[in-house]
Amino acid sequence: METNEQLIALLQKEGYLKTQSVIGAFQAIDRKDFVPADLPDKAYANEALPIGEKQTISQPLVVAFMLEILGVKAGEKILEVGTGSGWKTALLASLVGKDGEIISIERIELLSERAKANLSKYGVVESGVVELVVGDGSRGYPEQAPYDKIIAAAAADKFPEVWKEQLKIGGRIVTPVGNSIFVVDKITKDSFEQKEYFGFSFVPLVKG
Ligand code: SAH
């Protein structure tokens, strides 16, 4: 895979990328801008890649799958847990547009700083669409709650219940749990609907 277009074509062919808005975000954001400089040849491979600190930039098919399920609309306010390289952050920023808001929390300060540098090409931190926070996302981020959507990039055995409280009614959580992706819809203040999609792999969600 040598170009972003080839990667997109593959993800469409395999059925991971479907809707025009998510395809448009993948076209607008070049994955190479988020891959370490010593791995440029791998930027468009459908693989997770090391970004330092024992973490990875997510596999494209996983990001495509999660963003399709998240169903982002322009203007939404979204909490992302696990900024990593900032790639998914940039895709989310593209999806919500200039009236939206992405709060992205990362526990490793060095990765958050690198993500900020990676994102600078797109001006989304400077414009105020993206706010990067260094901290423990397993407690969510109550300071800015409630959110239309919450998306996580790291897996726990069980996802933190507190995320449900920080979600608006009608909102959705998409998160890894073990080797699955869970989709949780908030129907009323205390009723939820949950679906599980099997067969993925993630780095661990670390508490504290
Ligand atoms: N979508 C990102 C993937 C990053 S990997 C990308 O494509 O680059 C998952 C990230 O979650 C790692 O950077 C890890 O440090 C972070 N993480 C793990 N547990 C966390 C927690 N409790 N709070 C915030 N970030 C966490």
Which of 129, 86, 81, 140 shows the shortest CA–CA distance to 105? Answer: 81
pLDDT at residue 205 in the model: 85
The pLDDT tens digits of the residues spanning 135-174 come to 999 999 999 999 999 999 998 889 999 999 999 999 999 9
What's the total number of domains in the chain? 1
CATH number, domain containing residue 107: 3.40.50.150
Ligand 1 pocket check: which of 83, 162, 181, 201 to mutate, most ligand atoms within 8 Å of Cβ? 83
With pLDDT > 90 as the criterion, what percentage of the chain qualifies? 90
30: Cβ contacts below 8 Å, ≥ 6 apart: 4, 43
The verdict on whether 138 is a catalytic residue reads no
Q: Which domain holds residue 72?
A: 4-198
* Mean pLDDT calculated for residue range 73-86: 98
Task: Answer whether the bond into residue 146 is a cis peptide, omega within 30°.
Answer: yes
169 C-beta neighbours (distance < 10 Å), count? 11
Distance (angstroms) between ligand 1 centre and the Cα of 75 equals 24
Task: Examine residue 203 and state whether it is found in any structural domain, yes or no.
Answer: no
pLDDT at residue 199 in the model: 85
CA distances from 109 to 9, 56, 164 (A): 34, 15, 26
- Among 58, 94, 104, 138, the active-site one is 58
59 lines ligand 1 (CB under 6 A): no
Task: Examine residue 205 and state whether it is found in any structural domain, yes or no.
Answer: no
84 lines ligand 1 (CB under 6 A): yes
